[in-house]
Amino acid sequence: MKRAAFRLIAGSVLMLVIALGFAQGAGAQDTGTSLTVHHRLCGDNYQGGDPFTECHDVLVGTAFDFTIDGPVNETLATNVATGDVTFADIPAGTYSLFGGVPGEFSTQSIYCSDSITGEALDISNGVPVAEGAAVVCDVYEFPEDLRGNTPTPAPAQPTSTPKPNSTVTTLPSTGTGVDSSSNEALWLIIPAALAIGGLGLVSKRRLSR
């Protein structure tokens, strides 16, 4: 009887310890710290002004992967309907953020801020994510055409955002056309042809006499 009671008590204590361990593990994952990416397009709609004003409502229209690399490494795809992706319950720390349209097709400008405090963040050495912060990074894509042309990001800062961490990649020009030397040769040929035609006409008139 005593052995049965002892086993029952021991089993109950073991179950309680296991349950507490699971609860602590689950609580450790719920940090309340997050980093959200807003993926936006500055294409034909962009007139060279403030990207936040001109482009923040223009979605890329395709899901792209974004990766954060720091205290944890995680890759998630944006939601096509919203253009956003959130890395939730991540440890505080400094993160590298990369992804979106491949570099040979687009130039990116990235602006990050703490959505709770409204403070702009300096991302020159990575994206700083404080404990309990809700960081938002606006990633603007400036697509390049086949000639390597791309809209020029405005030097002015968007509202509540820091200076952009931009990477510019330019494709070689594949366009063709008539250059100025061809035009000069054409203007030399035309008077020569007219002169030859005039001499022929004079000669013809003299022979007819």
Domain positions in the chain? 30-143
Tokens for 204, please give them.
């013809």
Q: How far apart are the first and last CA of the chain?
A: 149
Residue 158, helix vs strand vs coil: coil
Hey, is 142 helix, strand or coil? Answer: strand
Tell the residue number behind the tokens 């509540």, with chain if given. Answer: 160
Residues with Cβ < 8 Å from 92, sequence gap 6 or more? 31, 33, 71, 129, 130, 131, 132, 133
Q: Which residue has the higher pLDDT, 73 or 156?
A: 73
Confidence of residue 144 (pLDDT cuts 50, 70, 90): confident
pTM: 0.59
pLDDT digits 0-9 by tens, 97-106: 999 998 889 9
Q: What is the pLDDT of residue 119?
A: 92
Letter for the amino acid at 187?
A: W
Q: Where are the beta strands (DSSP E) in the chain?
A: 34-41, 65-69, 73-77, 84-87, 93-99, 106-114, 127-129, 134-143
Q: Is the pLDDT of residue 28 over 90?
A: no
Q: Which of the following CATH numbers is that of domain 30-143: 2.60.40.1140, 3.40.50.2300, 1.10.3720.10, 1.20.1070.10?
A: 2.60.40.1140
Nearest-angstrom CA–CA distance, 51 and 46: 8
pLDDT per residue as tens digits for the range 46-80: 998 899 999 999 999 999 999 999 999 999 999 99
